[in-house]
Every structure is written in structure tokens, then in C-alpha cells.
Amino acid sequence: MADDPTDLRPTGRSEREAREASLRQGRQDLARERLPAEIDFQLLRFLSADEIFERVTQSSSLERTWLLARLVELIRGGAAPAEYADALIERLLAIEAQTPIGLRSRLDSTLRQLALIATEETQLRLIPSLLQSTRKPRRQLGLRLAAANYQPHMAELILDCYERTLDEFALKTFTRTKASVSLVGVAESLLNHFGNNDYEQARIFERLVLTEPSYAAQIAARYPRGFVWGAGRARDASLLPTIRTLMSEHNDDFEFLSLAVWALGALGAREELHALRQRFSSDGCE
């Protein structure tokens, strides 16, 4: 049956074109609606640091986010003093409860940027409360500040943060800063936590051999790969006797021997390397 020329209903193609036209118009309408706010945001670039500082806490949540981001740029560029960051952190924390939940992640991001350029005094003051936070971004900021401004009393704070949250970042911060001078007593618990992760175990031993080499050697047999790697990283040649013992006990563990070879090279153990090379020449491993 031929198409009825009087049937004016849209064909499949015209329906698709209509939908596409509607979508394009929707995008245009949305862009037009956003345009005034985008212009306002760009105009913030012309405000001085003093003007931003005075205006920031009287602004709406969205504008405040923009203002803070701009002020961070000015402080980083040296156009505003770091003390502005200190004062703004205090203001930001004071109005935090008024910030809509949808903007909390932006607030965390701005707080992080401000804290990283704040004065050392403010950073040190923030660390305990940040490490106690139930919000992961806050804790990780606290850990980053603790690593950058480490003081002996922070070891307990960092370890407590890990034990409370089981946050791997807290544990790695502990093992990779001077906090690990407190490793004796928790070292084996940490080593067991990392299981077969030779690299993380090596980071623990790297710190441990620098502060308690006899204790490190005492537990080396239980974590041979981590120990030899850590000893090599620490460049502590006094541990060569323990490495030789481990090599004789793990003579057929070639992954272990590979790490041991690296450690021997790092420790300048030329004779041991020659002896090991001779063994593999005799075995026909060329």
C-alpha cells in the first residue's frame, strides 16, 4: 500500500532530528543560565588579596569556594602572605557546619590547599585534629603534614590513626618517616601486616636497621627478603654477616638471591658477589 501523502506524522529520521535539536537547545539554555556565574567567577581574578580576604566569609558557599581557590593562587604566587592562609583556615573551620553536604568535598580540597601553604605553626596545630577526623581526606592531609613537620610525639598519633582506621596511608606514613624510630615493639606486627609485600617490609627494615640493627638482625630470619632489601637501602655494611647467613639458608630461593645480590652491590660486598658468580659459573648458569 502506498504512503498516504496526506499523513503529516514525522518519520523516524525527522523524530531523531527533533530530539537532537531539543538536546542542542537544552545545552544552549544551560550554558546561557551558567554564563553570568562564570563571568562573575572570572571577575574574581581582578580582586586583590585583601578584598578576597574580607569578602570570603560573607559569600555564598559556591562563591566562597571560588574566592578561596583564587586566594590560594595568590599566596602560592607570592602576591599574598602565608598568614592569610592561616586566618582563612580558622574562618573555614568556623563556618564548616554551615557548608552544604554537596560542597564538603570542595571544602576539603580548599582546606588541603590552604594547609599546605600555611605557616609551620598552623600546620603543627592542625595535625592532631586532622588525624582524629572520621573523614579520609582530612586524615590524609594530617598525615601529609605530619610527614613534612615530623616531631617525636607524632609517632604515637600516626600509629593510633592507623590502628583506629586501618588506613594503609597512615601505616606507610609511619614506616617512611622518622616515626619509625619507635618501631621496636611494633615492627613484627607491621611486618606481618604487609605479608608478602617485600617492598613495604624493606621500608620498615630500612628504618629499623638505622636505629636498632641488632634487633633487625635478630628477626631477619623470619623476613629474609625484606631484611636484605632494607639493609641494602640503609647502606649498613655491618649487616653483611647476617646477609651471608641468610644466603646460605636460602641458597635455592632465586628471588631472594636476586634481592641479596642487589644488597651486596649496594653495600660494596665485592668478594661475596665474586663468590656467588663463581657458584653459578660452576653450575653452568651462563
**Domain stops at, among 75, 102, 118:** 118
- Residue 211: inside a domain: yes
Q: Which is more confident, 136 or 60?
A: 136
**Domain stops at, among 103, 118, 133:** 118
At 284 the pLDDT is 52
- Residue 51: inside a domain: yes
The answer to whether 187 touches 209, Cβ cutoff 8 Å, is no
Tell me how many domains the chain contains. 2
Of 36, 122, 130, nearest to 75 (Cα)? Answer: 122
* 198 and 109 co-located in one domain: no
- Residue 153: inside a domain: no
**Domain stops at, among 102, 118, 134:** 118
- Model confidence at 108: pLDDT above 90: no
- Residue 252: inside a domain: yes
Query: Backbone phi, then psi, for 285, in 5-degree steps?
Result: -90, 80
Domain that holds residue 279: 183-286
Q: Name the pTM for this structure.
A: 0.56
Confidence of residue 96 (pLDDT cuts 50, 70, 90): confident
Amino acid of residue 204: I
* 113 and 188 co-located in one domain: no
Confidence of residue 4 (pLDDT cuts 50, 70, 90): low
- Model confidence at 2: pLDDT above 60: no
The answer to whether 44 touches 67, Cβ cutoff 8 Å, is yes
Please tell me what DSSP assigns to residue 60.
-
N-term to C-term CA, the chain: 84
* 105 and 200 co-located in one domain: no
Report, as an integer, the average pLDDT of 17-41.
Answer: 85
Query: What tens digit of pLDDT does each residue of 36-79 get?
Result: 878 877 887 888 888 887 787 676 766 777 787 788 888 888 88
Q: Which is more confident, 81 or 227?
A: 227
- Residue 30: inside a domain: no
